[in-house]
Amino acid sequence: MTEVFVPYGRQSISNADIEAVCRVLRSDYLTQGSSVPAFEDALAEKVNAKHAVAVNSATSALHLACLALGLQEGDTAWTVPTTFVASANCAVYCGADIDFVDISRESNLICIESLRKRLEDAKSKSKLPKVLIPVHLAGNSCDMKAIKELSIQYGFAVIEDASHAIGGRYRGEMIGACTFSDITVFSFHPVKIITTGEGGMACTNNSDIAERIKRLRSHGITKEIARFKANKPNPWVYEQHELGFNYRMTDIQGALGMSQLAQLERFVARRNELLGVYQDSLESEYIHMNRISDECLSSVHLAIAKMPTSTPDRYEQIFKYLRSKHIGVQLHYMPVHLQPYYRKKGFSEGDFPEAERYAYQSLSLPMYPSLEDTAQSRVIREVKKAVDRYLKP
């Protein structure tokens, strides 16, 4: 009998979610109704942000966040190589240059020491970044306090790419509270912590930024009479003030998001429970599971097995072995600077050694709330076999 394929991640959809979606489908408004504002308010309250603006993906949220911070041609944004390409693409959409800061071997997150050195160097060359986009990989918060201090010292803005991290905490506060950043972005893609099919959210405590993102998600149009440029506005008038996009979330998605948000704590608790089992069963000199700092509650988007003795050859063997056993292991992520598109911009091997090492030592194991204990036991058994076969001397 062939064993069923266990993916690395998947959504959890309840009957309540399905009913919430059906209610919108039977209602008058499929978009621009009341579900999206309700979801925005609920999320803002949950993460303790003043404003939350929903859009059709985290990629769109990152793009509009960069625009709202004034990122444009001639500017530079920095992010890490160990992330999804969208964390870098958002700056390129604005005509800005992108550069990367290497990750730390300990945390897999942006290395504060490298960041500090790079900033010193960039300052001496008058090439400081306008925006930094730290990424909370696997749901673990970056060292935001240190980043905030550097942002004040060097005068750059901060967008937290928290696509993995809704439901997590840093220094006691919910990720999204923007205590140490200008904007925080969440993703609701089905593999993430909560889903709207496709969808994203930008949180901020700055009302001008929130207004700007709202306007940009809907063509650059405003319907608020108080903001009109015309002297005698008529009731049929709306004004386009800048070039925007249609990045709106539908109310079908908003209702799903609202219903999913109500399950956030349960999802995060189950993910932490599953990670605990992986840690208890696999932690050894050959495998380290996610290391989560004491300052953090992780949403555990990914269960990352780090194999310090792995090499590119061994990595390929382990990956192929586990896939042959129908275990959907995955690499998160291939370093962005080594993508063909970014190589063409001048990046190459050796530029960010820790991110490159990470890519042949780190494997995401199946992690999602509905992962059954028996399936997880099978994953653990096969990972142990792979360690015996390919990592032990």
List the beta strands (DSSP E) in 64-119. 76-79, 97-100
Q: Determine which residue in the list 11, 35, 76, 87 makes contact with ligand PLP, applying CB under 6 A.
A: 87
Task: Tell me the two tokens of residue 313.
Answer: 């050859």
Stretch of 66-74, 83-91, 103-111, 225-233 contacting ligand PLP, by CB under 6 A: 83-91
Please say which residue, 176 or 200, places its beta carbon nearer to ligand PLP.
200
Q: Determine which residue in the list 76, 163, 290, 364 makes contact with ligand PLP, applying CB under 6 A.
A: 163
Q: Is 65 strand, coil or helix? A: helix
**Does residue 361 touch ligand PLP according to CB under 6 A?**
no
Query: What residues pair up with 99 in beta bridges, in sequence order?
Result: 78
Do 335 and 79 meet the contact criterion of CB atoms below 8 Å apart? no
Say which residues have a Cβ less than 8 Å from residue 130's Cβ, sequence separation at least 6: 69, 70, 71, 75, 76, 77, 96, 156, 157
d(CA 103, CA 115): 9
Type and span of the H or E element at 258: helix 251-261
Q: Determine which residue in the list 24, 44, 58, 210 makes contact with ligand PLP, applying CB under 6 A.
A: 58
CB of 144 to ligand PLP, least distance (A): 16
Q: Determine which residue in the list 161, 354, 356, 382 makes contact with ligand PLP, applying CB under 6 A.
A: 161
**Does residue 59 touch ligand PLP according to CB under 6 A?**
yes
Stretch of 158-166, 234-242, 270-278, 281-289 contacting ligand PLP, by CB under 6 A: 158-166
Q: Is 174 strand, coil or helix? A: strand
By CB under 6 A, how many residues form the interface with ligand PLP? 14
DSSP annotation string for 13-32? --HHHHHHHHHHHTSS-SSS
Please say which residue, 57 or 140, places its beta carbon nearer to ligand PLP.
57
Query: What residues pair up with 53 in beta bridges, in sequence order?
Result: 202
**Does residue 337 touch ligand PLP according to CB under 6 A?**
no
**Does residue 253 touch ligand PLP according to CB under 6 A?**
no
Edge-to-edge strands, sheet with 169-170? 173-174, 169-170, 296-297
Window 176-195: residues binding ligand PLP (CB under 6 A): 187, 189
CB of 55 to ligand PLP, least distance (A): 9
Stretch of 55-63, 73-81, 112-120, 173-181 contacting ligand PLP, by CB under 6 A: 55-63
Give the interface with ligand PLP as residue ranges (CB under 6 A): 57-59, 83-84, 86-87, 135, 161, 163-164, 187, 189, 200
